[in-house]
Amino acid sequence: MKTWQKIGIGAGVVVVLGGMTWFSVYKSNQDVVTVQAGRAARGDLTSLVTASGEIRPKNYTNILGEGMGKITDISVNEGDHIRKGDVLLHLESVQPGADVQAQQASIDAAIAAMKGASANYDSAIATVAQRQSDLNKAMLDWQRSQQLFKEQLISKQDYDASKSTYDGAVAGLNAAKAQLDSSMATRDQARFNLDQARAVLTHQEDVLRKTTYRAPIDGIVSYIAVRVGENVVPGIQNASGSFLMTISDMSVVTAEVKVDETDITSVKDGQPADVTIDAIPDKTFKGHVSEVGELAILRTTGAAAMTETTANTQEARDFKVVITLDNPPVSVRPGLSLTAKIQTAQKQNVLTIPIQALAERTQKELDEAKDGTSGSVTLAAAKSESDSQKTEIQGVFVVRNGKAQFVPVQTGITGVTDIEVTDGVREGDMIVTGSFKALRSLKSGASVKIDNSAPKTDQSTSS
């Protein structure tokens, strides 16, 4: 056999053996799934609820129009620190001031009339006393005249004169008493007129007072809605008065956030929170939950979810949660956007796994994987399934002897990236953590190959 023939035969053998080796490797790796994996480990875990909202003062008041008139001057500017009772603005007060002066004059006249009526009443009392004294004297003279007349010691003329004097005294006393009653009525009327005038003055003074607006609380002027020259109208039954400005007491600053309805059950009063304010980057402020809302609020409209018009809507709901900042910055202002992370639970030295390692499988899928039959999520929804077969089971894939075994687990609190496992896996178990595509289709018992290298970037799509 020639040399070149030997070389050709040798090359053919090498090719055949290489092909057989490649085919063997290809068949062995054909059903192997490449996954990322990590070990279940112990560590500290903090459960957080993240929500967004805005800065709100705990106490603030909106100044609304109480009187009617044109604004003549505004005494404060936005951002000014003011004390309770400081003047905020003035309305034109010519007519209210004139009304007060006129009513004060009416009160002065009523006081003078009251004094005159009281003097007349005192005079009437003195007159009644005088008439009573005259009657007593006339009665004694009349009684004496009767005795003397019986004894025929005086004439009939003197007797009649004495009786006439007595009758006149009686009439005079009655007239004096009538005059006293009249004086009393006049005095009472003068007093009532004075009380009425004073009540009208109180009303006029209140109208005048409402032309000068004063701060009801200490704080800062956080917003002014009007300008000099604009007209102010008071509120009526079905409409509020003109909105003038807002006074905010920034001594206690709160963060008002909206928490999703799925997280609200874990939020409680007193829980610590970290607050980051968009306008003050790279700083975190400590606070604590001071109020948890009891009524759901529709996410888009902000309306209460218990009204008749919103009762049957399927729109997402939030709950208001108020966080009081422990040491708010001096530069903070109402309305600043913020993000709050509320610590709802904290545990130390617990068994944890990455959150993305959790998967769900139905009992039918697990049974098919155990029996080696083909199955899919679509087939798992067949009509012949029982309720127990359709129930989804939460678990993880544990790598054992090169195969991924689905293990049901019980979970505890959830952290930012990890979740507590209370039952199902042990410390050190190798857990499949990705990729998402692999976890979605991975079957229990499938052969896996662990590759934790960073995913390659598609250079054709990068620019």
Q: Which of 209, 230, 264 is the last residue of a domain?
A: 209
Residue 278 lies in a domain: yes
Asked if the model's pLDDT at residue 377 lies above 50, the reply is no
Q: How far apart are CA 53 and CA 340, in angstroms?
A: 8
pLDDT of residue 410: 94
Residue 119 lies in a domain: yes
Q: How far apart are CA 379 and CA 367, in angstroms?
A: 13
pLDDT of residue 315: 79
Looking at the structure, do residues 126 and 165 belong to the same domain, yes or no?
Answer: yes
Residue 460 lies in a domain: no
CATH number of the domain enclosing 127: 1.10.287.620
What is the arithmetic mean of pLDDT over 41-51? 93
**Segment among 15-29, 82-96, 250-264 with least mean pLDDT:** 15-29
Residue 243 lies in a domain: no
Asked if the model's pLDDT at residue 11 lies above 70, the reply is no
Segment 404-432, tens digit of pLDDT: 999 999 999 988 899 999 999 999 999 99
Cα distances from 299 to residues 151, 245, 261, in angstroms, run 115, 28, 10
More confident site: 199 or 309: 199
pLDDT of residue 259: 94
CATH number of the domain enclosing 396: 2.40.420.20
Asked if the model's pLDDT at residue 242 lies above 50, the reply is yes
CATH number of the domain enclosing 285: 2.40.30.170
**Segment among 302-306, 343-347, 358-362 with least mean pLDDT:** 302-306
Asked if the model's pLDDT at residue 378 lies above 60, the reply is no
Looking at the structure, do residues 100 and 201 belong to the same domain, yes or no?
Answer: yes
Residue 236's pLDDT band (cuts 50, 70, 90): confident
Q: How many domains does the chain have?
A: 3
pLDDT of residue 309: 59
- % of the chain residues with pLDDT over 70: 85
pLDDT of residue 26: 46
Q: How far apart are CA 8 and CA 261, in angstroms?
A: 76
Cα distances from 288 to residues 53, 259, 273, 324, 331, in angstroms, run 15, 15, 5, 6, 20
Looking at the structure, do residues 343 and 381 belong to the same domain, yes or no?
Answer: no
Residue 52 lies in a domain: no
Residue 222 lies in a domain: no
pLDDT of residue 319: 94
Residue 27's pLDDT band (cuts 50, 70, 90): very low
Looking at the structure, do residues 319 and 368 belong to the same domain, yes or no?
Answer: no
Rg (CA), the chain: 49
Closest CA to 296 of 332, 259, 333, 243: 259
User: In one letter, which amino acid is 396?
Assistant: V
Looking at the structure, do residues 281 and 337 belong to the same domain, yes or no?
Answer: yes
Contact present, 163 and 142 (Cβ < 8 Å): yes
Looking at the structure, do residues 160 and 136 belong to the same domain, yes or no?
Answer: yes
pLDDT of residue 20: 58
pLDDT of residue 245: 94
Q: How far apart are CA 189 and CA 197, in angstroms?
A: 12
pLDDT of residue 460: 45
Looking at the structure, do residues 355 and 428 belong to the same domain, yes or no?
Answer: yes
Which residue's structure tokens are 């018992």? 445
**Segment among 76-80, 97-101, 149-153, 185-189 with least mean pLDDT:** 149-153
Does the reported pTM lie above 0.75?
no
Q: How far apart are CA 216 and CA 376, in angstroms?
A: 69
Contact present, 101 and 228 (Cβ < 8 Å): no
Residue 71 lies in a domain: no
More confident site: 129 or 310: 129
What is the arithmetic mean of pLDDT over 359-372? 80
| Average pLDDT over all residues of the chain | 85
Q: Which of 347, 378, 413 is the last residue of a domain?
A: 347
Asked if the model's pLDDT at residue 238 lies above 90, the reply is no
pLDDT of residue 216: 94
Looking at the structure, do residues 367 and 382 belong to the same domain, yes or no?
Answer: yes
What is the arithmetic mean of pLDDT over 160-179? 89
Looking at the structure, do residues 331 and 387 belong to the same domain, yes or no?
Answer: no
Q: How far apart are CA 419 and CA 411, in angstroms?
A: 7
User: In one letter, which amino acid is 226?
Assistant: V
pLDDT of residue 307: 63
Q: Cα 94–207–229 angle (5° rounding)? A: 55
What is the arithmetic mean of pLDDT over 145-166? 86
pLDDT of residue 364: 83
Residue 223 lies in a domain: no
Q: Which of 286, 312, 347 is the last residue of a domain?
A: 347
Q: Which structural domain range is residue 285 located in? A: 252-347
pLDDT of residue 7: 66
pLDDT of residue 14: 67
Looking at the structure, do residues 343 and 363 belong to the same domain, yes or no?
Answer: no
Contact present, 42 and 433 (Cβ < 8 Å): no
Looking at the structure, do residues 205 and 282 belong to the same domain, yes or no?
Answer: no
What is the arithmetic mean of pLDDT over 49-55? 94
Looking at the structure, do residues 99 and 172 belong to the same domain, yes or no?
Answer: yes
Residue 234's pLDDT band (cuts 50, 70, 90): confident
